[in-house]
C-alpha cells in the first residue's frame, strides 16, 4: 500500500499500525505528535490505529527550549 508521510509517498506493507510505521521511520521513541487525514491521533492509540492505503500522515517532532 502507499501512504503519504509529511507529503512524501511511502510504500508500506498491509496491516500496519501507526506505531509500526513510526518504528520503521525511526520516530517511535521520539516525542512526536501525529495527525492522520487531518485528525490528531493520541499517543495512547498509536498501537491500535491501523494505517490504510492512501492515508495522509503528518509527523511533528516536539522541540524543547526556552
- Residues 3-59: tens digit of each pLDDT: 999 999 999 888 899 999 999 999 988 999 999 999 999 999 999 999 999 999 999
The domain segmentation of the chain, as residue ranges, is 2-61
Q: Is the pTM of this model over 0.85?
A: yes
Distance, first Cα to last Cα, the chain: 41
Region of 47 (left: φ > 0; alpha: ψ -120 to 50; beta: rest) is alpha
Q: Which fold has domain 2-61?
A: Ubiquitin-like (UB roll) (3.10.20)
Amino acid at each position: 500500500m502507499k501512504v503519504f508521510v509529511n507529503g512524501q509517498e511511502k510504500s508500506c506493507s498491509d496491516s500496519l499500525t501507526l506505531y509500526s510505521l513510526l518504528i520503521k521511520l525511526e520516530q517511535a521513541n521520539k516525542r512526536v505528535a501525529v495527525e492522520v487525514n487531518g485528525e490528531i491521533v493520541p499517543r495512547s492509540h498509536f498501537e491500535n490505529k491501523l494505517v490504510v492505503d492512501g492515508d495522509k500522515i503528518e509527523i511533528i517532532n516536539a522541540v524543547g527550549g526556552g
